[in-house]
Structure formats: C-alpha cells, structure tokens
Amino acid sequence: MHPAVGAAGRGHSHGPAQRHRDALRRSVVRLVRVEGARLQRALRTAHELADLADAVTLPAFGRGGTAERKADGTPVTAADREAERVMRRALAERCPNDAVLGEEDGLHGPEGAPTWVLDPIDGTRNFVRGIPVFATLIALAVDGRPVVGVISAPALGSRWEATAGGPARHDGAEVRVSAVDDVADATVSFGGLNYFHRDGGLDVVARFTARTARQRGFGDFWQHCLVATGAIDLAVEAEVSRWDLAAPKVIVEAAGGRLTSLGGNDTDSGGSALTSNGRLHDDALRIVAGGA
C-alpha cells in the first residue's frame, strides 16, 4: 500500500473501508436478530406442540393402559401414537416445508430441510406403570444440529426449554449447571443398567460408583434435566436414540453443560450419552475409557 493511502485510511474514519466495516457489522446484527427471531418462533411452536401432546398423555396417565412391544423390544402405547400424530398434524399446518422425525412414525419430509425431532413419550414404561416421570421431547434441528429444545413432563408439572446459545429455563426460570469441579464430589445418574449389561459396560458403572460421591438411577430425560438445573453433575446412558437426545442436548448446553457420546463425540444422533456440567466432562470420559 502506498504510504499516502495508508495515512488517508487511518486519518479518515468514515472512508470506504470503514463504511464497509460498519455495513458488515450492521448486516451481522440484522442476521443475528433475524435468526434469533426465527428461533423464538420455533420455540413457541415447540411449546404449542407440547401443549397438544400433554392434552393426550396426561388424561391417559394412570388409567392402567397396556403397551405393545415393538420390533426393537421397546414398548409403545396408544397415547404414544396419538401424541405423535397430533404433533405431526400441527407441524403439517404450521411448518409444511420442514421434515419430521418421530419415534413412532420415522422420518418424513424434504431431505436437508429443518427437522423436528419428536419423542411423544420418553419413559413409556414409567407411564404404563403409573410413575409420573415421563415427558414429551421436542427439538428442531437445522443442518443436522438441534437448535431448539422443549421437554414437557405434565405429570410432574414441569417444562424445560432452550434455544441454541441459551439461556435454558425450567418453568420460566433461568437455570445453570452446577459448579462441582471434582468427580469425587459429584452425583452421577445412570440410565437402565440392563443396557450397560447387554453392551458389556457394567465395568463403566462400577468405575463411576468407585469415583463419585453419590449414584442414582433417575434415567430417561429427567437425569439430563437434573444436570441442566444443577441438581446433579453427571448422567450416563449406554443406549439412546436421536429422539432421546436432541431436546436434552439443546437444554443442557444452553445451561452451560455438555452432552456427548460415551466416546466423546459431539453428536445427538444416538448410541450412548454422557451429560455433564462441563467442568467434569473430560474426567468423566477418562473414567468411561478405563483411566484413572
């Protein structure tokens, strides 16, 4: 650059370069506002879907209904199917260009489109047995990554929500993960031990039991929500599906935590899950791997 040009650029704050930078900043601000507005609209839609599902599941809860066994061995009830059906119908009206992935009816919609990920009843066995720890899980994924999450547990009277970047909220109040930074002081929760046994992973449970202060088996969505609210510090699951993880991942990460596979992969595609307050994540991964 010629010295005179450089001097001119430095001396005139409103020259072409500065005007370009200002325009770029304004463009970025507008983009952030637009994307934020879109996320908020999607969050409102997710709450509307949760309301529809709650209107199906809560009246059916505690009525002693029976569950069928699906091909993969997991249970399904009429309420599972109806809750997913009403949510799909609402999405077809509100978001006709989006895809929908649901536990009961699979993936439908345009390839590459924003995708709603639905678990109509997470905790179906609890639901059937009259245990109030069940929920509808709703997420919106864009470019394969979940950016909106809502978890509604009507029998508990609780709802968790977040958009990518936070904040995370529980019943309207902002929540954060715990500040525990030593595994020896941590509370860990496990999913079904039968899955660990089937996958040869009971040694993982044993190692966490030896290293942590308290161990519980809250399971399903609830243990991830407890991490998000700071009530516990770690949650470990041997087998999960995408619809089990998409909404919890948004909420946990918005609350300051982490959710990966047991191998440390940053994914919500299913397989396994390790949820933490973030501070303990690397130590927890070492425990999974068999390290000290």
- Give the model confidence (pLDDT) of 262-279 as tens digits: 999 997 777 999 999 999
pLDDT at 142 exceeding the cut of 70: yes
106-108 sheet: strands from edge to edge? 106-108, 99-102, 115-122, 135-142, 145-153, 158-163, 168-170, 173-175
**Is the dihedral angle over the CA atoms 36, 38, 40, 42 positive or is it negative?**
negative
Q: What are phi and psi of 168, to 5 degrees?
A: -95, 145
pLDDT of residue 150: 99
> Where does the chain hold its CATH 3.40.190.80 domain(s)?
183-289
Chain segment 201-256, per-residue pLDDT in tens:
899 999 999 999 999 999 899 999 999 999 999 999 999 999 999 999 999 999 99
Distance of CA 243 to CAs 61, 77, 107, 248, 282, Å?
21, 17, 11, 9, 25
Write down the pTM of the prediction. 0.86
Domain 183-289 class in CATH: alpha beta
More confident residue, 18 or 228: 228
> Where does the chain hold its CATH 3.30.540.10 domain(s)?
37-164
The angle subtended at Cα 264 by Cα 263 and Cα 269, nearest 5°, is 85
Q: What is the DSSP letter of 267?
A: -
pLDDT at 128 exceeding the cut of 80: yes
Tokens representing residue 282 in the block: 């690397």
pLDDT of residue 269: 78
What CATH number does the domain located at 37-164 have?
3.30.540.10
pLDDT at 4 exceeding the cut of 50: no
pLDDT band, very low/low/confident/very high, at 70 (cuts 50, 70, 90): confident
